[in-house]
Amino acid sequence: MYKQYIETLKLPTDEQEFAFILGQKRTCYNNIYPYKLFPEKGLQRIDFAPVTVFYGGNGSGKTTLLNVLAEKTGVQRNAPFNGSAFFADFVESCRLQAKFIPRNSRIMTSDDVFDYVLHIRYLNDGIDDRRDALLEEFVERKYSDRRLQSMADYEDWKESFDAKTKTQSRFVNERLRRNVNMFSNGENAMKYFVDNITENALYLLDEPENSLSIAFQMDLCTFLSDSARHFGCQFVIATHSPVLLSMKDARIYDLDSNPVQTKKWTELENVRRYFEFFESHRDEFIE
C-alpha cells in the first residue's frame, strides 16, 4: 500500500523572483542562485508520487530541488550542502503541501555513502593494524620464560601461558574482532541504503547509483520499489541511471526539457542514447 507524506511543491513565479531581486540591497552579490533557475524552465509546481524522480544533466537543478525539499521538510541530514547567500530566502518563498513528515525521514547524498565507505575502510585498517600487533605479541609471549612470582604478575603470566597452549591463529582471533566486512565499495554502498532505509518514512536520494555496478543498481531499484509499495516509504530521487529511471510507477520530471515535463523513462535523452548505442552493436550480441 503506497503512502505519501509530501504532495505538492510550488516554486516562486518569475514575477515573484523579479520582485525579490529588485528589492535586494545586497548589490555585492553577482550570483543569485537558486533564483532564475526554474522560471526559465517553466517549472512552477511539482506534484509528488510515491516515487518521484528528477532527471537532468549537471546544473539542471536536481540536487537544488532535493535540498529545497530537505530544508522545507526538516528531514535528517548528515553531509552539508553548498547553498548560497539567497538559498534560505528561496526556500522561504517555496510552498510545500504535506501531510506530515515522519521523524526518521532523511536526505541521503553521495557524500553520505562515500563517508560510510571510508568509515568501514578506516575500521578495517585499524583492525588490520591490531592484528599485526597481536602477531608480534604472540611470538614474544610464546617463547618467553615468564614465571608467576606474585599476584601482580598474574595477568601477564596468564597471557603468556595462553599463547604457549594455542596456535597463532587462535590466539589472535580470540582477541581480535573480525573485520567489519570484506566487501567492495559497491557492496558497502548497497549495504548503506539497506541499513538506513526503514519503514514508513520520506527519503530524498541524490544520485544513489554512484559506486554501484549495474547489478547493484538493479538490486537497489527492486529494494526501493518494494519499500515504496509494501513498507510505507516515499522517495524523491535525483538520478541519471536508466535502471532507476525504469522503476515501476515512478513519476519522472525531465529537467532538461523546456518547459519541464513529466515523461516516460523510455523518452528521456540519456536512456535513448543508451538504447541507440546498444542497438548499433546489436550484431555483436548475437552469436
Q: Are residues 202 and 191 in the same domain?
A: yes
| Averaged pLDDT, 171-183 | 54
| Averaged pLDDT, 214-226 | 94
Q: Are residues 97 and 193 in the same domain?
A: yes
Whether the pLDDT of residue 180 is over 50: the answer is no
Q: What's the total number of domains in the chain? A: 2
Whether the pLDDT of residue 42 is over 80: the answer is yes
Q: Are residues 105 and 200 in the same domain?
A: yes
Q: Which of 175, 197, 225 is the last residue of a domain?
A: 175
Q: Are residues 168 and 268 in the same domain?
A: no
Count of C-beta atoms within a 10 Å radius of residue 184? 13
| Averaged pLDDT, 135-159 | 62
| Averaged pLDDT, 40-49 | 95
Find which of 77-81, 138-142, 164-168, 276-280 is predicted with most confidence, using mean pLDDT: 276-280
Non-local (6+) Cβ contacts of 176 within 8 A are: 127, 130, 131, 134
Predicted pLDDT at 179: 46
Q: Are residues 159 and 136 in the same domain?
A: yes
| Averaged pLDDT, 25-54 | 86
Q: Are residues 78 and 125 in the same domain?
A: no
Lowest mean pLDDT among 25-39, 76-90, 110-124, 254-268: 110-124
Distance (Å, whole) CA 189 – CA 154? 46
Predicted pLDDT at 78: 87
This prediction's pTM: 0.77
- Which letter does DSSP use for residue 9 in this model? E
Q: Are residues 55 and 135 in the same domain?
A: no
Is 197 a member of any domain? yes
Q: Which of 175, 193, 227 is the last residue of a domain?
A: 175
Whether the pLDDT of residue 10 is over 60: the answer is yes
Q: What is the per-residue pLDDT across 21-31, written as a single tens digit (0 to 9) for each? A: 888 765 555 67
| Averaged pLDDT, 89-99 | 95
Predicted pLDDT at 158: 63
Q: Are residues 135 and 71 in the same domain?
A: no
Predicted pLDDT at 211: 82
233: containing domain: 43-82+91-110+184-285
Cβ contact 268:57 at 8 Å: no
Distance (Å, whole) CA 102 – CA 88? 23
Lowest mean pLDDT among 19-28, 50-59, 145-154, 260-269: 145-154
Residue 173, SS3 per DSSP: helix
Question: Phi and psi of 129, rounded to 5°?
Answer: -65, -40
Which run of H or of E encompasses 123?
helix 110-142
Q: Which of 258, 278, 241, 238 is nearest to 52 (CA)?
A: 238
Whether the pLDDT of residue 43 is over 90: the answer is yes
